[in-house]
């Protein structure tokens, strides 16, 4: 019997923390299905920068992932009911209440375990494991406040013509 695992998140800018989370989740079963939150449903933090489909496609390209799905617009449990997981793995620092999710699943007749992935510590001093920190670093390093590129930044227009 195939053991299905679900992981979920925003995945705005993929980083090593996401890869760790998804590998951790994949290790708990035979199939890993990832539900990527739709921009309109993200209310606990800033909205994602990247479009829904792009974020889904990036997650789907990862080797640990069997299939990535966009979340449902009105009811977050619709894809869970369709996939019928054995395990739902929450990120180690996600805001979700595992007990609350377990109760909501039971009320819908979905019998599955809810657990959390392990934390991943940075492998080296300046490794960034947060989308917010990556965005902050990009703004610090690339912008001079005027929106123009700084001296020393690569001219990306040449890359686009190639």
Query: Which positions ≥6 away from 146 have C-beta within 8 Å?
Result: none
Cβ partners under 8 Å of residue 121, min gap 6 = none
Handedness of CA 154, 19, 132, 33 (dihedral sign): positive
Q: Please, which residues bridge with residue 9 across strands?
A: 36
* Strand, coil or helix: 160: helix
20 is in an annotated binding site: no
11 labeled part of a ligand binding site: yes
Tokens of 136: 């902050």
- Secondary structure class of 62 (helix, strand, coil): coil
Judge whether 33 is annotated as a binding position. no
Is 15 annotated to bind a ligand? Reply is: yes
CA distance 134 to 123: 16
Is there a binding annotation on residue 16? yes
The binding site for ATP consists of 10-11, 15-18, 93
The binding site consists of 10-11, 15-18, 93
């Amino acid at each position: 019997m195939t053991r299905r695992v679900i992981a979920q998140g925003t995945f705005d800018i993929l980083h090593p923390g996401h890869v760790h989370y998804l590998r951790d989740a994949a290790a708990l079963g035979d199939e890993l299905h990832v539900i990527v939150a739709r921009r309109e449903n993200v209310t606990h933090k800033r909205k994602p920068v990247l479009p829904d489909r792009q974020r889904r496609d990036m997650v789907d390209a990862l080797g640990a992932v069997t299939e990535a799905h966009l979340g449902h617009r009105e009811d977050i449990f619709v894809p869970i009911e369709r996939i019928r997981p054995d395990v739902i793995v929450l990120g180690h620092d996600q805001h979700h209440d595992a007990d609350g999710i377990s109760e909501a699943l039971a009320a819908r007749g979905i019998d599955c375990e809810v657990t959390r992935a392990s934390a991943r510590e940075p492998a080296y001093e300046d490794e960034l494991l947060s989308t917010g920190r990556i965005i902050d670093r990009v703004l610090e390093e690339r912008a001079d406040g005027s929106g123009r590129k700084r001296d020393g930044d690569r001219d990306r227009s040449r890359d686009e013509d190639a």
